[in-house]
Structure 1
């Protein structure tokens, strides 16, 4: 085979991907969604670089640069309160300190910035100019517990915002048991007792702490959304969740438009308005479909006091809050319980 034949064969080799029309390549990018993968495509060729900027559907997973140091020197707060209240608040304060230390110079993508917990979303989204649907996943906490994979506590929430909180649904439990082990009830202090169908003052206070914790977490994420929405004017719907599947914020097009009209206030979270809380409680909630029993099962539906809704609206909101089958079953059984508690909480 001479040099001329080799040259002719090389000319016949064509990159089939180059033959695809732009509209089809863009459809592929929209199905890929992952912001990091798409950003990597921008350096492959100019054509990909131009098309990536036009991607409408983007998902972004934010990873930690380093984990928070853990202090195990005699600390007894490793139970429910430590995992779901102290640890998230510790992480939140750590992020605030890291952000403030860079406020004078802006965000710097430098490997020496080891004190930063994670990259800010706007920095990772700079390659995209036409985002319409955005999904962000924040770092989670280790040891996630669910009905399927554990026997520890559970705290899950879903919130919806416009310019401020519109609703929040919380599902919590102090623990789980296998169905065959359920018979005797252990109260939250570990002592065996008869089933008490009413919340004690101590139990109620604990659930108020759960509620405040979830509302603070959701309002902090909403503040993050303000910056993203103002930087990307074509966003129509957005979702922020976390790796532990503990909390989710979702916003539709109406809510995004409403938020965009709101001026960004330089504070670390959105103010939570005065709210009305409707709460259902069962000391033991049997879930035969999942082979277990939820201990201290609690459901809370939260709305601003200025919102007037029908009783059935609270039920439909709660039932549709969680997509996992086990969570939906638990919610349905709790709302079937006629007795509920009603609480009011001031703005904070």
Structure 2
């Protein structure tokens, strides 16, 4: 008897869960009949999407950009059933993940972020979803262009800067709702899943669904399937009535001496959720440490954060 055969299945599955890389695990299925039967039982997976179809237009129009973005990612998750698109179908995330039966923790990584930004601008966002948006924290800033800290003209630029920050916020919400919509197929196929995260390689945006949010989404799928309304014409999840709290600082100096400009923190939550101390905690926990976490820490003073309310579908 081969010594390797004496290893219990539970130990081999522990190794597979540590590997987590979906493509590496699929290759492991060809090692032996035993591996072929055990790999589908892996519970923790990480899937990296290698490429997204290029944009059809170079227009700077926000509408045109997001239309091409949604088409590209939607084609990735919902390949054309036509035989000429066979290779694309075989490489779709939904098709790849169908080889696994017991997924509990899944992370999907896209090759790039969704937003086109001017040079030097940085936007990071994290959105929590159930059947719809639960919360979204957005951090935006520009890297210091004027080390001397000359703030002349800053007051005159406030109106234009505010317009830019509103565009940042809306763009992040559109990207978040589009990503959530595309995760519905994955959720409805894997009923044991307890955590699902969709990120991008640039670290721009994160969509997260925890156990309770996934349960809500599954209930929505059940109802829609029963009523024959699962297929929708839209390409993103409708944002509910939300409140937004925004805090802005013209210039902020970090602990390492680096200055950043136009630092904007936005906390978005449904109107059904009252404002409380959790907003600051939510913002601080969204990005962890590093420059992003430090910038958020500076911004969480609740006494200077303004609030606005927007109805459903207005974003």
Instruction: Specify the TM-score bucket, using the shorter chain as the normaliser.
Output: 0.7 to 0.9
Task: Select the residue among 188, 204, 212 that pairs with 1:230.
Answer: 188
Contact 2:252 2:263 in 1 (8 A): yes
* Residue 252 of structure 2 is aligned to residue 285 of structure 1: yes
* 1:170/1:142 CA distance change after superposition, 3 Å: closer
Matched positions, count? 303
- After TM superposition, which residue ranges in structure 1, 4 or more long, deviate above 6 angstroms? 97-101, 142-145
Task: Select the residue among 295, 303, 315 that pairs with 1:330.
Answer: 295
Structure 1, unmatched stretches of 5+, are 1-13, 146-150, 186-192
Alignment match, 2:102: 130
What is the correspondence of 1:306-321 to structure 2 with a 5 Å cutoff? Answer: 306-310=272-276, 312-321=277-286
Q: How large is the Cα RMSD of the aligned pairs? A: 3.1
- For 1:276, what is the secondary structure of its paired residue? strand
- For 1:338, what is the secondary structure of its paired residue? helix
2: CA distance, partners of 1:135 / 1:154? 23
Alignment match, 1:91: 69
TM-score normalized by the length of structure 2 = 0.85
- For 1:28, what is the secondary structure of its paired residue? helix
Alignment match, 1:42: 29
* 1:241/1:88 CA distance change after superposition, 3 Å: farther
Alignment match, 2:217: 259
Deviations 1:214-253 (A, max 9, x none): 1111111111221111101110111110111100011111
What is the correspondence of 1:132-211 to structure 2 with a 5 Å cutoff? Answer: 132-141=104-113, 152-177=120-145, 181-185=147-151, 193-196=152-155, 200-211=158-169
* 1:141/1:255 CA distance change after superposition, 3 Å: closer
Deviation of 1:207 after TM superposition, in Å, equals 1.6
* Residue 239 of structure 2 is aligned to residue 272 of structure 1: yes
Contact 1:62 1:139 in 2 (8 A): yes
TM-score normalized by the length of structure 1 = 0.78
What is the correspondence of 1:59-138 to structure 2 with a 5 Å cutoff? Answer: 59-64=46-51, 67-68=54-55, 71=58, 90-96=68-74, 102=80, 105=82, 108-110=85-87, 119-138=91-110
1: CA distance, partners of 2:289 / 2:210? 21
Deviation of 1:105 after TM superposition, in Å, equals 4.3
* 1:119/1:213 CA distance change after superposition, 3 Å: farther
Contact 1:199 1:281 in 2 (8 A): no
Contact 1:63 1:119 in 2 (8 A): no
1: CA distance, partners of 2:200 / 2:270? 24
1: CA distance, partners of 2:54 / 2:65? 12
